[in-house]
Amino acid sequence: MDLTTILIPSELLRSYFKIVLFFTCSLCVLPGCSSEKNTSNRTESRKIDSLIRVQKLNDRSILVNFGYDAVSAINTEQGIVVIDAGISTGLTSRYKKIIQKEFRRDDFIYVINTHGHHDHNNCYSQAICFQNTADFI
């Protein structure tokens, strides 16, 4: 027998075929699983959005809250000032969109942190702050 001739036993060929068939079927089925997860995430996202409340305090100030997590925003001539950033980056990004929509602008100039608890400062890791504040956070 010549080394260039390769004989593949029929049993090995059937096993190879089964493996190829399995992966081909998996490629057809798995995207459906992902779609279901995305639908679940969208449903959960809508539920969260429905629980976020916006209270207009006056012509230039609003309070945005989700349960006990609250963020205040003041619309100034120079830009938007936010008081406390919120408990999570996910909620804070939602708050930011709401504030932008309410004030019809997106120029945030300051975030004022009232104290060091995580529900007030957990979301702005790139903040520029005084050295003693940076050491504390």
pLDDT of residue 69: 87
pLDDT, greater one: 65 or 113: 65
pLDDT digits (tens, 9 = 90+) for 68-87: 888 999 999 999 999 988 88
Sign (positive or negative) of CA dihedral 8, 10, 15, 16 = positive
Residue with tokens 């005084």: 130
| Averaged confidence pLDDT in the chain | 76
Phi, psi of 132 (to 5 degrees): -65, -30
User: Model confidence at 41, in pLDDT bands (50, 70, 90)?
Assistant: confident
Domain 53-136 sits in CATH 3.30.300.30: no
Q: In the chain, what are the domain boundaries?
A: 10-51, 53-136
What DSSP string describes 63-120?
EEEETTEEEEEEE-SS-EEEE---S-HHHHHHHHHHHHHHHT---EEEEE--SS-HHH
